[in-house]
Structure 1
Amino acid sequence: MIEIKFVSPEQTYEIRREILRKNIPLTEKIQGDFEDDTFHLGAFSNGILVSVATFMKDNHQYFSGFQFRLRGMATLEKVQGKGLGKQLIFKAEEFLKEKNVSILWCNARVVALKFYQNCGFETIGEEFEIPLIGGHYVMFKELKND
């Protein structure tokens, strides 16, 4: 059984470190983790945290309106491809729509483009490099209240 719940920043660190920072000398902590507007979601499989994502108020020059940024999206390898990350994003979208957020954006790793496209995100701009991590694209999704 999968449960999506709000989690603390500290609960995201182990999965972030294992998936996003493996063999990279960078911290799993993200600036803004503890800001009042920031929230973290976790997907639990049979009570075990297996996927995390962080959502924070952050504006990007490409967009106007009320924006939030997705950061630290990570799912344990053994459960990747089972739709857990997508469930996290969709749950966050429900919450963000209630706050009248109009754009959800992220810096997506090239290897994750298909995942984000399957969640309804679009690419904007050119590929850029984040040192020690690799190629990224800015991706975004317009959030419309149904």
Structure 2
Amino acid sequence: MIQIKEISANETFPIRLEVLRKDIPLPYEFNGDYDENTFHLGAFKNDKLIAVSSYMKESNKNFEGNQYQLRGMATLMEYQGFGAGKLMLKQAFGILKGKKINILWCNARIAAVDFYKKQGFQTFGKKFEIPFVGEHYVMFIALNLL
């Protein structure tokens, strides 16, 4: 069984590095990781941290209202497809709704677009390139409509 818990920024770093930044010359520590409004979730299976996600109070000029940005969503390869990401998002939606946040947005890698669509996110605009990482779409979900 997978359990979701709030974790520290430092606890996200090993999985971010392994899944998102391996052999890529970009930092795995993000601006905003330690801000008071930021929170991080971890998915645990048998007390082992298998997935992480971070939520930062950051606005995108394309959207209105109170917004948060999802960053650093990552699941260890051998645990992908077991629902950890979906469970973290479900818990985050509840936390964010409690903070009166109406838009959660992210820069989604092309490989993750279908996952986010299954969770209710929509793409916005055209795909764009992040150097060393690849093509992305801005994606968002209107939490006030859930």
How high is the TM-score relative to the length of structure 1?
0.98
Deviation at 1:90, TM superposition (A): 0.8
Deviation at 1:145, TM superposition (A): 6.7
Residues 136 and 145 of structure 1: is their aligned pair in 2 closer, same or farther, counting only changes over 3 Å?
closer
Separation of aligned partners in 2, 1:95 and 1:132: 32
Separation of aligned partners in 2, 1:109 and 1:118: 15
SS at match of 1:144: helix
Stretches of structure 2 lacking an aligned partner (at least 5 in a row): none
Deviation at 1:144, TM superposition (A): 1.8
* Residue 37 (str. 1) matches residue 47 (str. 2): no
* Residue 88 (str. 1) matches residue 110 (str. 2): no
* Residue 48 (str. 1) matches residue 48 (str. 2): yes
Q: Give the match for residue 19 of structure 2.
A: 19
Is the contact between residue 97 and residue 145 of structure 1 (CA under 8 Å) also seen in structure 2?
no
Query: Residue type of the partner of 1:67?
Result: Q
SS at match of 2:100: coil
Is the contact between residue 7 and residue 41 of structure 1 (CA under 8 Å) also seen in structure 2?
yes
Separation of aligned partners in 1, 2:48 and 2:62: 37
Cα deviations by residue, 1:95-141 (Å, 9 ceiling, x for unpaired): 00011100000000001100100110000000000011000000000
Query: Residue type of the partner of 2:99?
Result: K
Residues 85 and 101 of structure 1: is their aligned pair in 2 closer, same or farther, counting only changes over 3 Å?
same
Q: Give the match for residue 72 of structure 2.
A: 72
Cα deviations by residue, 1:13-45 (Å, 9 ceiling, x for unpaired): 000000000111212101100000000000000
Is the contact between residue 3 and residue 43 of structure 1 (CA under 8 Å) also seen in structure 2?
yes
Separation of aligned partners in 1, 2:66 and 2:27: 28
Structural RMSD (CA): 0.9
Query: Residue type of the partner of 2:142?
Result: E
Stretches of structure 1 lacking an aligned partner (at least 5 in a row): none
How high is the TM-score relative to the length of structure 2?
0.98
Identity across matched positions, percent: 50
